[in-house]
Structure 1
Amino acid sequence: MQCHADDTQAGDGPEAEQDEAPLLAQQPSCHTGPCSARCGLALVLHVSLFVAYVLRVSLSIAIVAMTNSSQQQPSPRLAPVYNWSAETQGIILSSFFYGYSLTQVLGGYCSGLFGGKPVLGSGLLLSSLLTLLVPRAAELGVSFLIGMQALLGLAEGVIFPAQYTLWAKWAPPLERSRLMNIADAGCTFGTFFALFVAGIICQSLGWPFVFYIFGSVGCAWCICWFLLVYEDPALHPWISDREQEHIVSSLSHQGSSHGRSLPLVAMAKSLPLWAITIACFCTDWLFYMLLTSMPTFMSNILHFDLRENGLLSSLPYIGNGLGHILAGLLADFLLARRVLGTAAVRKLFSALGMLLPAAFLVAVPYIGCSSTVVVVLLTLALTVISMTGSGVNINHIDIAPRYAGFLLGVTNTFGIVAGIIAPTAVGLLVSQDLQTGWRNAFFISAALNLFGLIFYIAFGSGTIQDWAREDTTAQ
């Protein structure tokens, strides 16, 4: 039987246990120091995702100033104000996700063919350029702005799948959690930064400068991206021989990136892949439901004005970002010390990241009128859900490193569908009865997370699947 290094981490049965010791012993010791090339890639990706999310959420903040006809402090630049209804604003903001969902799979496929560096860099550069054009699109009319947002979604849709393609070449199995979660933390920190800074820009310079400043910063950062990032360790001019040997030897079992053909039939029949897909759908349902509906819940049920405390509204983003980093460090610690295998670690962190938020949601309707406790529970839910970043969210690379970008595109598409459906479902439930509607919305989200977790624990895996090995012909 051919030996595969990722099989050794799973701890799933005697075959995995038999292979584990010799393979781990073969890997040269090379710590992920702050000056290592792979740690540098994690930091560059952190900033890139930071910039991507700043561009992504800029309109959701600026649209308040764009439609507020009673500004107390008019901009010295006399920024235009538009008379858009709430329904029109909702269509404008949601148009991003329709474009975003269309390029997930395409981005993963193209990054497997052409490399993660050019695909991610091109997507980020195009997003930055489109952001610069948002004020002009708004002047031309609502339809132009909707089209611009959809194009922005199309451009950003390739970023995450391309990132996974890069990590499949750079992240040793025992370091994936920390490296990828350091990068992913840029998303939540970028959201927090945009929430904090965009309002100041709107008041002092006018809302168009939100897009001019953020778009210009994005374009400048893209220059750094293309100069600093290399597709794989063999192409990096400054990497040490020791680090290159460590990365290459630890990933030698997984083969090169996929070609033009993909084993689509085998993928469709793979229960471990379905386990990831269903778990991602359920997790994203809860995440997007909280992210989009929490302010409305606090206003309608708790009669709480979030504007009185900006720190409170940013706590979930700070907690989520820090949670990603800490969970990644802990997951890799458990793997490196061989306390648990890959499959066990992924399922443990998925269980914590799905069960605890579900329990917090179920508890909310029974708290009563204690707004402080409810806010703490909802904030904790958004913080703890970050633990899935070391669980189901990176399991794609464990089971199919060659196709990680493509598979991330597939599962992310399902997650985006959940993000579109969840707020709509909440609106329908709440419109029938306020108190009962919110309780049912929380219960449905919790039940979905429980179902997704059970399915993932039953069928999830930490080993490379037969159809993902390089010597397997496309089906």
Structure 2
Amino acid sequence: MPLPNGYSINAASSDESEDAERLIETVSVPPQCCSARLNLAVLMFFGFSVVYGLRVNLSVAMVAMVNNTDPKPWENHSVVPAACPRSSGAENTSDTFQQPDGVPQYPWDSETQGWLLGAFFFGYLCTQIPGGYLSGHYGGKLFLGLGVLGTAALTVLTPLAARMGSYWLFALRALEGFGEGVTYPAMMAMWARWAPPLERSRLMTLSGSGGNFGAFLALPLTGYICQALGWPAVFYLFGGAGCLWAVFWFSLVSDDPRTHPRISKEEKDYIINAIGPQGTGHGWSVPVLSMLLSVPLWAIIVTQMCANWSYYTLLTSLPSYMNNILHFDLQSNGFLSALPYLGAWLVSTLSGVVADKLIEKKVLSVTNVRKLFTLIGQILPAVFLVLVSYSGCSHILTVTFLTLSTTIGGTSASGVFINQIDIAPRYAGFLLGITNTFGTIPGIVAPIATGYFTEDNTLAGWRKVFWVSAGIGVCGAIVFTIFGSGELQPWAVTEEERAETDKRRSGSISQ
């Protein structure tokens, strides 16, 4: 739908500067405070907080579930002790950690733990594309809500699956990933209908930053619950929180501003006019061949795979590093493993505001904003990961560099991670399904690779983990800087937009 000035913000053009001019045309913007679109972002924020809590709680709980914290296993098995010596400090008491009476522990080796931590992503990649496609057609409310609810319900069964054996736990985690795989594509499909172009960065980074906030809360909270109540309580409590969130989600959210019962007319008109024809469902047919041949789309795919390698490595394996190498007790382990995600949450949210301002004030084009934030969010974190690998047994340096790496990595949230909605808003959910499918592969491979690299629990093995993560991250930054784009792609332009563009051009020629 056209703006009052006669054209849509998302209309295609043959010139990037013309796109930039059109994008930042002044419109009457209703206040964001207490608006329906901000309320949606907040609900999504808490939804993804729950999602990441359900995803990462096993990373910390694994330390309590596995009985290698008892000194006896070191005597009974030919395992090389960790490189860093245990001191008498209060924070270095991982070998004295005990579970409450009656709570089982399991003899899973490093390789088995790697497979269990990566199991989630085997299921997660299967539903990304179908979830994005169906969300783009029907709307994302149902898929996002059921994704969280289903994962939460399955999480409650984790203690039962663990008692039945590692294969059952692997299958359960894979099934959880299968349910959760639709959540991010559904989010993107909803924002394609709800987020005005000049507010995309801040709304999407606010909602998506719930993942980092969830990791920040879940990691230390899991450690505390494990010590106070035993590790099974972790999965019961987190699963219950997900079910409670689903009640609010299904009660308060609508797929589209047109159908929202409590939105003001001013806000509804603003959103519909600002987004234009791109804010409608894409129907059953999508230009798959054109997508497959799209260089900007492949730039997103490659870069997200590279960025996710280091992210998932730390997300799933950092608690093991804190325990096996630095010997932090479980509560300290959870808190220090969570600290980087507090910084990432704050930086990613702030980056969304800054990115929108740069675009709105015409300081940089959408393309250059996405490239700049991706470059910062990939190169600097890689540098700090390399520094971690040479920090040795220094607790202070290791925690500082890990925190800086993940914190600065939060700037990528306003870069490559929301770029799908720039190049094709109408197909954003489907595109995110594609890019997240590829981006999930590191979630499978990285924990397994970490398990092989660190089989002996030595600093040398972990140095390989950090160097590989840093190198892959730099490669992703280079690819996106060269091939990335923030322009609306020709294959994403609707017939209505083409007609509007032709009409406008005809008018300018006649003048």
TM-score by length of 1: 0.88
Take 1:360 and 1:80, find their aligned partners in 2: how far apart are those partners?
38
Shift in CA distance, 65/446, structure 1 to aligned 2, threshold 3 Å: closer
Q: Which residue number in structure 2 is paired with residue 229 of structure 1?
A: 253
Q: Percent identity?
A: 46
Q: Which residue number in structure 2 is paired with residue 305 of structure 1?
A: 328
1:26: Cα distance to partner? 5.4
Take 1:420 and 1:114, find their aligned partners in 2: how far apart are those partners?
30
Between 281-290 and 264-273, report the one with greater CA deviation. Answer: 281-290
Q: Secondary structure at the match of 2:278?
A: coil
One-letter identity of the residue aligned with 1:413 = T
**What is the CA deviation profile of residues 114-173 of structure 1, one whole-angstrom value per residue up to 9, with x for unaligned ones?**
210011111111112112222333344433322221111100111111010011111111
Shift in CA distance, 210/101, structure 1 to aligned 2, threshold 3 Å: same
The answer to whether the Cα contact below 8 Å between 2:20 and 2:365 also exists between their aligned partners in 1 is no
One-letter identity of the residue aligned with 2:47 = S
Shift in CA distance, 366/84, structure 1 to aligned 2, threshold 3 Å: closer
1:317: Cα distance to partner? 1.3
Q: Which residue number in structure 2 is paired with residue 75 of structure 1?
A: 100
Between 206-215 and 223-232, report the one with greater CA deviation. Answer: 206-215
One-letter identity of the residue aligned with 1:92 = L
Take 1:22 and 1:143, find their aligned partners in 2: how far apart are those partners?
55
**What is the CA deviation profile of residues 407-462 of structure 1, one whole-angstrom value per residue up to 9, with x for unaligned ones?**
11111122221233234445555669966655554444333333322221222111
One-letter identity of the residue aligned with 2:342 = I
1:304: Cα distance to partner? 5.6
Give unpaired runs (5+ residues) of structure 1. none
Take 1:64 and 1:443, find their aligned partners in 2: how far apart are those partners?
24
Shift in CA distance, 203/447, structure 1 to aligned 2, threshold 3 Å: closer
Shift in CA distance, 378/210, structure 1 to aligned 2, threshold 3 Å: closer
Q: Which residue number in structure 1 is paired with residue 219 of structure 2?
A: 195
1:18: Cα distance to partner? 3.4
**What is the CA deviation profile of residues 331-366 of structure 1, one whole-angstrom value per residue up to 9, with x for unaligned ones?**
112122221111111111011101111222344456
2:39 matches 1:40: yes
Q: Secondary structure at the match of 1:252?
A: helix
Q: Which residue number in structure 2 is paired with residue 163 of structure 1?
A: 187
Q: Which residue number in structure 1 is paired with residue 294 of structure 2?
A: 270
Q: Which residue number in structure 1 is paired with residue 27 of structure 2?
A: 27
Q: Which residue number in structure 1 is paired with residue 283 of structure 2?
A: 259
Take 1:25 and 1:178, find their aligned partners in 2: how far apart are those partners?
18
Shift in CA distance, 250/420, structure 1 to aligned 2, threshold 3 Å: same
Shift in CA distance, 289/147, structure 1 to aligned 2, threshold 3 Å: closer
Specify which of 305, 312, 318 is matched with residue 342 of structure 2. Answer: 318
Greater C-alpha Rg: 2
Take 1:197 and 1:296, find their aligned partners in 2: how far apart are those partners?
16
Specify which of 217, 230, 239 is matched with residue 206 of structure 1. Answer: 230
2:156 matches 1:132: yes
Shift in CA distance, 352/127, structure 1 to aligned 2, threshold 3 Å: same
Between 187-196 and 350-359, report the one with greater CA deviation. Answer: 187-196
Shift in CA distance, 23/125, structure 1 to aligned 2, threshold 3 Å: closer
Q: Which residue number in structure 2 is paired with residue 64 of structure 1?
A: 63
The answer to whether the Cα contact below 8 Å between 2:424 and 2:492 also exists between their aligned partners in 1 is yes
Between 332-341 and 392-401, report the one with greater CA deviation. Answer: 332-341
Take 1:102 and 1:249, find their aligned partners in 2: how far apart are those partners?
35
Take 2:19 and 2:297, find their aligned partners in 1: how far apart are those partners?
23
Q: Which residue number in structure 2 is paired with residue 244 of structure 1?
A: 268
The answer to whether the Cα contact below 8 Å between 1:346 and 1:390 also exists between their aligned partners in 2 is yes
2:4 matches 1:5: no
1:265: Cα distance to partner? 0.8
The answer to whether the Cα contact below 8 Å between 1:346 and 1:391 also exists between their aligned partners in 2 is yes
Q: Which residue number in structure 2 is paired with residue 15 of structure 1?
A: 15
The answer to whether the Cα contact below 8 Å between 2:324 and 2:457 also exists between their aligned partners in 1 is no
1:21: Cα distance to partner? 3.9
Q: Which residue number in structure 2 is paired with residue 420 of structure 1?
A: 444
The answer to whether the Cα contact below 8 Å between 2:161 and 2:168 also exists between their aligned partners in 1 is yes
2:49 matches 1:50: yes
Shift in CA distance, 375/164, structure 1 to aligned 2, threshold 3 Å: same
Q: Which residue number in structure 1 is paired with residue 76 of structure 2?
A: none
Q: Which residue number in structure 2 is paired with residue 459 of structure 1?
A: 483
2:407 matches 1:403: no
1:14: Cα distance to partner? 8.4
Take 2:182 and 2:135, find their aligned partners in 1: how far apart are those partners?
8
Tell me the number of residue pairs that the alignment of Structure 1 and Structure 2 aligns.
464
Give unpaired runs (5+ residues) of structure 2. 1-5, 71-95, 497-511
1:250: Cα distance to partner? 0.9
Take 2:234 and 2:415, find their aligned partners in 1: how far apart are those partners?
35
Take 1:406 and 1:108, find their aligned partners in 2: how far apart are those partners?
4
Shift in CA distance, 226/278, structure 1 to aligned 2, threshold 3 Å: same
Q: Which residue number in structure 1 is paired with residue 142 of structure 2?
A: 118
Between 248-257 and 110-119, report the one with greater CA deviation. Answer: 248-257
The answer to whether the Cα contact below 8 Å between 2:97 and 2:330 also exists between their aligned partners in 1 is no
The answer to whether the Cα contact below 8 Å between 2:100 and 2:230 also exists between their aligned partners in 1 is yes
Between 436-445 and 174-183, report the one with greater CA deviation. Answer: 436-445
Take 2:165 and 2:458, find their aligned partners in 1: how far apart are those partners?
35
The answer to whether the Cα contact below 8 Å between 1:256 and 1:470 also exists between their aligned partners in 2 is no
2:288 matches 1:281: no
Shift in CA distance, 213/432, structure 1 to aligned 2, threshold 3 Å: closer
**What is the CA deviation profile of residues 372-427 of structure 1, one whole-angstrom value per residue up to 9, with x for unaligned ones?**
33432221011111110000000000001111111111111222212332344455
Take 1:197 and 1:28, find their aligned partners in 2: how far apart are those partners?
44
Specify which of 205, 230, 244 is matched with residue 181 of structure 1. Answer: 205
1:277: Cα distance to partner? 0.8
Specify which of 345, 354, 357 is matched with residue 330 of structure 1. Answer: 354
1:105: Cα distance to partner? 1.1
